Structure 1
Amino acid sequence: MKHLPKHLRPRWRYLAVHLETWPDADLDRRDFQRSVWFATQNLLGDAGSADADCKVLHFEFADGTGEAIVRARHGHADEARAALACVDEIRGDPVGLFVAGISGTVRACEEKYLRRDGQIPDERKVVFEDDQRSAVVRGNRYDVRTDGAFAGATELDFE
């Protein structure tokens, strides 16, 4: 079977996505893909989601943060970006998504938008609500473990 000529091949755009949730969340590629499909179908309908054809190509997630590359058909990148903005939870865990940028190739997407900042989460003991508690620290953000859940805090909350 021969390949299609270049002018007849489908063209794609690649969206770099950063994910953030509570440190104890356990997410995988399949869960994220399912959430993206549901969001595109709910926002764009059956025909629109088929046109956008969003697919997760790359997914990494650990300790509450992660990154992904989502492929969308050329001309439908804005619709895919809007659908990603509709994802607010994955398998019951609240999640925040941020589209860092859109690129024409996977390689350019990785090089421009998915550079690791070297920020490794750190676990510390902090005093929160007059009690010593465990907290996961990422930069100047603290996720303090309360009674079976987490509370988001900053350095100003501890002074």
Structure 2
Amino acid sequence: MKHLPKHLRPRWRYLAVALEAWPDAEFSRRDFQRSIWFAAQNLLGDAGSADADLSVLQFDFADGTGEAIVRVRHGHVEEARAALACIDGIHGDEVGLRVKGISGTVRACEEKYLRRGGQLSDERKVVFEDAQRTAVSRDGLFDVRTDGAFVGATELDFE
């Protein structure tokens, strides 16, 4: 079977997506893909989500932060961004998504928008609500463990 000529092949755009959740959140690429499909289907309908054809090409998530590359058809970037904005949880874990940038190739998307070193996280003891607690620090922000859950905090919240 012959390949299609270049002008007949589908054109794609690649979205660099940053993921942020609590440090104990655990979900896989498959869970993220399923959340994207459900969000697109609920927002755009069956035909609209099939036209946008959102799929996760690369996925990396650990310790509450991660990055992904999501592929979308050329004319459906705004619909894809709207569908991603509808996602507030993945596999029972609360999550925040942010589109860092859009590119025409996977390589350009990786080079421009994704850092491959990862964020440095540090665990330390802090005083929060008049008690000593464990906190995970990332880029000057802290996630403090309180009674089995996490609370977001900054340096100013500590005594």
Mapping of 1:25-104 within 5 angstroms? Answer: 25-104=25-104
TM-score with structure 1 setting the length: 0.98
Question: Which runs of no fewer than 5 residues in structure 1 stay unpaired?
Answer: none
Which residue of 1 is the match for residue 19 of structure 2?
19
TM-score with structure 2 setting the length: 0.98
Q: Which residue identity lines up with residue 75 of structure 1 in the other structure?
A: G
Deviation at 1:158, TM superposition (A): 0.8
Question: Which runs of no fewer than 5 residues in structure 2 stay unpaired?
Answer: none
Deviation at 1:31, TM superposition (A): 0.3
Identity %, equivalent residues: 81
RMSD: 0.9
Counterpart CA distance in 2 for 1:87 and 1:116 is 24
Q: Which residue identity lines up with residue 99 of structure 2 in the other structure?
A: V
Deviation at 1:119, TM superposition (A): 2.9
1:2 aligns with 2:2: yes
Q: Size of the alignment, in residue pairs?
A: 159
1:109 aligns with 2:109: yes
Counterpart CA distance in 2 for 1:124 and 1:101 is 33
Q: Secondary structure at the match of 1:27?
A: coil
Which residue of 2 is the match for residue 135 of structure 1?
135
Q: Secondary structure at the match of 1:46?
A: helix
